[in-house]
Chain A
Amino acid sequence: MNRSTDTYRGLIDKITKEYSKSLVAKIRKLAEQLKNVVKIMDFCGTHEWTITHYGIRTLIPDEVELIAGPGCPVCVTPAYYVDQLISLSLEGIEVLTYGDAVRLPASAGHTPRSLLEAKAGGGRVHIVYSFMDAVKYAKTRSNEMVFFAIGFETTMPSVASVIMKGKVPKNLSVLTAYRYTPPIVKHLLTEVGAVQLDGIIAPGHVSAVIGASSWEFIPKEYGVPTVVAGFEAIDVLAAIEKILEMKVRGKAGLINEYSRVVQWDGNKLAKQAIFEVFEVRDAYWRGIGFVRESGGFFKDKFKEHDAIREYGLKDPPADLSKEVVPGCKCHEVVLGLSKPTHCPLFMKVCRPDSPYGPCMVSVEGTCRIWAEHPEFLRLEEIKSVGAALKDLE
C-alpha cells in the first residue's frame, strides 16, 4: 500500500492553490468581452454547494450569473410517494430509506407530515445507507418491507445491480421514484417561461454513469455551451471559464472537464444494469409536472420486486393539486426561476432543522445549502439592497 487517500486530496489541493487565481483572472478577462449577462446553470446540488461554500459567486464578475438547477433528487420526488409510504408504514409494512428521504414533506395538509413523523406516531420506518444495507436488514427479518428508491442515474445502478443478480429476499419490495436527468434538461431548454440559459455545468457523477456524450444534444440542438465538471472549486471555475470561452468565440460545444472520473461513454456495466432492470416512462416531478420519458420503472421481468404493483399504488394518482406545500417555491428554485431568498418562508418557517419544503431537506437542496451559509446570505442581502438603491437613483 504505497498510496494513501491523501495523495489524491493533496494533488487537488495543490492544483487549486496554484491555478485558482489564474482561472479567476481569465474569467474576468473573458467577461469583459461579453455583450450581455451570461446565465450559467449548475445542474447538481453538489455543484451548488461548492459554489456557495467557496463563495465563487463573489469571485466572478456580475456579468456571469450562476443559477442552481434541478440536481437534487429529494427536491423533485413526488409527495404522493411519501403519502403512500406513510400509509403503508402505519399499516405495519416497514419502510426502509435514506436519512434525508424520511424528512421529505408529504403533500399539503397530509398528516403525519413525513415518514419521520409517521415513525414517531408508531409507523414502521427504518433508515438505511444503501439498498445493499436494506437487503441485509430484510434478510435477518421476516416482516414485509418496502425500500423507497429515490434518485437519478447515479443511484439506479445500486438497485439494478443487486436485483439483476436475484439477491433480494421475498419480504422486500422496492418503490422506484427514479428520474432521468437528460429529459429534465431538455424540459428546461424547451419549456415556455423557462430561464434562458447561456451555459450548463452538467452533472459530474450522473455523467460517470451515462457518459459525457449524453449531453451532446445541448450544444447541438440548442446551441448552449456545456461542460461536464467535477465538484472541486477548481473544477467549477474551469467549467465557467470554458463556457465563457465558448460564448465569446460564439461556438457552442461539449467539454468533459471531469475526465478523471467521467468517460465519454460512461460506465458500460452500470448502463447495462439500468437498461436491463428499468423501463422509461413519462413521469411526474414534484410541482413541475410531467416530463416526457423521465421516469425509471421496473420492467415486467422484475415485477415481483415492484412495490407499485404489489400494493396497487397509483402512479401518478388522479389528484396532484397538493404536491406543493402552501407558499413553498421549491419547484421554482429547482428550475432556476426563484432563489431561496425570494421565499418568504426561508429561514423563518422553513429551516434546516425543521424543513417545511423539499428543497430544505437534503444537503443537495438549494434552500438548505444557502441556509447553511449565512455569510453568503449576508452578501446576497447587501447585493439586493445595493440594487434597490441603484434603482432609486
Chain B
Amino acid sequence: MCLGIPMRIARVWSEGELKLAEVEAGGVRTEVDVSLLEDIRVGDYVIVHAGIAISKLDESEARELIKLFNEIASELS
C-alpha cells in the first residue's frame, strides 16, 4: 500500500467536509479522498496512496528535470 500512482482528476465533489474525486490512470477509474490538497482541478495529476491523494504533480517541475539532465549531458561532451 506504499505504492503511489500518478492519476488524473476527472471529477471533484464534496461529501460533508470530505473532498472527493474520481481519478483515472491507464483506463482505470477510482474514487479517492482529495481533502488534503488545496486547489484541485479537473485535469490535474495527483499522486494517490491507499485511496488518498497526497500530492499534486507539477508538470513544469518535470520539465525542470530536462534542464538538469542537459547540464549533465553538456558536462560530458
Contacts and interface: CB of A to CB of B under 8 A. Distances in A.
Interface of A: 1-5, 7-8, 11-12, 15, 18-19, 22-23, 25-26, 29, 44-46, 71-74, 98, 100-101, 129-133, 150-152, 154-155, 157-158, 161-162, 165, 167, 204-205, 208-209, 231, 234, 238, 241, 257, 259-263, 267, 269-270, 273, 363-364
Contacts of B6: 5, 8
B17 A270 contact: no
Contact of A165 (B35, B54, B62): B35
B38 A269 contact: yes
Contacts, number: 163
Interface string B27-53: 000111101111000110101011110
Given A26-B76, A238-B69, A269 B1 contact: no
Residues of A contacting B: mostly: helix
A205 B6 CA distance: 11
Contact of A364 (B3, B33, B58, B59): B3
Interface residues of B, number: 46
B37 to A, nearest CB: 7
Interface of B: 1-4, 6-8, 16-18, 24-26, 30-33, 35-38, 42-43, 45, 47, 49-52, 54-55, 57-59, 61-66, 68-69, 72-73, 75-76
Contact of B62 (A8, A71, A209): A8
B2 A71 contact: yes
B47 A130 contact: no
